[in-house]
Amino acid sequence: MARGRKGAPEAIRITDAPAPLSDDIKKRQRRYLAAMLARTAFFIAAGVTGIMGILWLAMICVLLAILLPYVAVVMANASTPKGAETSPFGAAMTQQDRLRQLPSRHDPR
Residue 37 lies in a domain: yes
Q: pTM for this structure?
A: 0.56
Q: Which of 15, 56, 65 is nearest to 37 (CA)?
A: 65
Residue 13 lies in a domain: no
Residue 4 lies in a domain: no
Residue 107 lies in a domain: no
Residue 15 lies in a domain: no
The percentage of the chain sitting over the pLDDT mark of 90, rounded to a whole number, equals 31
Q: Are 16 and 95 a contacting pair, CB within 8 Å?
A: yes
Task: Residue 62: give the domain boundaries.
Answer: 21-99
Q: Partners of 86 in the beta sheet?
A: 92
Average pLDDT of the chain to the nearest whole number: 76
Distance CA 27, CA 81 (A): 12
Residue 71 lies in a domain: yes
Domain tally, the chain = 1
**55-68 tens-digit pLDDT:** 999 999 999 999 99
Residue 88 lies in a domain: yes
